[in-house]
Amino acid sequence: MNLIMFGPPGAGKGTQATRLVSERGYVQLSTGDMLRAARSSGTPLGEKVAGIMDRGDLVSDEIVIALIEEQLEVHDKAPGFIFDGFPRTVAQAEALDGLLRGRGEAVDLVVNLRVDDEDELIRRVQKRAAEQGRADDTEEVLRNRLANYNALTAELLTYYESQGIVRHVRGLDSIEAVAAQTAEILDEEKGKRKQPAS
Ligand code: AMP
């Protein structure tokens, strides 16, 4: 099963994805983590994207699609993927569909960590900044990341809703409560997939 953890920056996509890796053995593919790794190892790619990330803008579709393509090849036997922070544009979503189609697979589920209160998100991210020291977790940069999410990424929900694969959870509930809602959805979806076609 391939699933996308979807939601605005700060909604807890990475936290929930990491839990699913340890609980269910999926492979987590986070383009944000890949880009941060490229930066900390000082690769040409890392240097190229540093300024873009620090402003809270989106790195080009071409770059992130290539990163995902590479990782799909590395993990060719994975039981399933959790995409976290990818796709962020319709072009990325279309590319992901094509890459998975090439493996005889598809995006099976989109778990939307729904957040209605942006001020609460900003408070959360400021807490994360204090704990992890991420350069792009300042209020100003976060507001730009949220603006990019609203302008470019949120419309992906419509893209996936038209495929009937979006499930919503309350993103501002506690980590445990979001994990419990997500687990329930995954179990339901797995149950549906096991039922023989009638
Ligand atoms: P994240 O950790 O997912 O919030 O990503 C951190 C930053 O990396 C974002 O603000 C973007 O600059 C860049 N980034 C991560 N994933 C993507 C993506 N799928 N498309 C474009 N830029 C991305």
What lies within 8 Å, CB to CB, of 54 at 6+ separation is: 135, 136, 141
Amino acid at 148: N
109-114 β-sheet, strand order: 27-30, 81-84, 3-6, 109-114, 166-170
Q: Which DSSP state fits 164? A: T
pTM assigned to the model = 0.93
Whole-number Å distance, alpha carbon 138 to ligand 1 midpoint, is 15
Q: Which residues are catalytic?
A: 13, 88, 128, 134, 145
Residue nearest (by alpha carbon) to ligand 1 atom 1: 32
pLDDT per position as a tens digit, 156-190? 999 999 999 999 999 999 999 999 999 999 999 98
The answer as to whether 194 is a domain residue is no
The answer as to whether 161 is a domain residue is yes
Instruction: Check pLDDT > 90 for residue 89.
Output: yes
* Structural domain boundaries enclosing 89: 3-183
The answer as to whether 192 is a domain residue is no
- Alpha-carbon distances of 195 from 188, 189, 190, 191, 192, rounded to whole Å: 11, 10, 9, 7, 5
Instruction: Check pLDDT > 60 for residue 33.
Output: yes
Instruction: Check pLDDT > 90 for residue 124.
Output: no
Domain count, the chain: 1
Provide the mean pLDDT of the chain. 92
Query: How far is residue 15's CA from residue 82's CA, in Å, rounded to a whole number?
Result: 12
Pocket test for ligand 1, best of 18, 35, 142 (most atoms within 8 A of CB): 35
Q: Phi first, then psi: what are they for 45, rounded to 5°?
A: -60, -45
Task: Provide mean pLDDT across the span 138-142.
Answer: 87
Whole-number Å distance, alpha carbon 20 to ligand 1 midpoint, is 20
Residue nearest (by alpha carbon) to ligand 1 atom 6: 32
- Alpha-carbon distances of 10 from 42, 43, 128, rounded to whole Å: 26, 26, 8
Residue nearest (by alpha carbon) to ligand 1 atom 12: 53
Q: Is the CB of 10 under 6 A from ligand 1?
A: no
Instruction: Check pLDDT > 70 for residue 197.
Output: no
Whole-number Å distance, alpha carbon 59 to ligand 1 midpoint, is 7
Pocket test for ligand 1, best of 34, 39, 55, 59 (most atoms within 8 A of CB): 59
Token reading at 116: 């209605």
Least confident window among 85-94, 131-140, 163-172:
131-140
The answer as to whether 193 is a domain residue is no
> What percent of the chain has pLDDT above 70?
98
Residue nearest (by alpha carbon) to ligand 1 atom 2: 32
CATH number at residue 37: 3.40.50.300
The answer as to whether 178 is a domain residue is yes
The answer as to whether 196 is a domain residue is no
The answer as to whether 144 is a domain residue is yes
Q: Which of 141, 114, 117, 112 has its CA nearest to residue 129?
A: 141
The answer as to whether 44 is a domain residue is yes
> Residue 44 — very low, low, confident or very high, per pLDDT cuts 50/70/90?
very high
Q: Is the CB of 112 under 6 A from ligand 1?
A: no
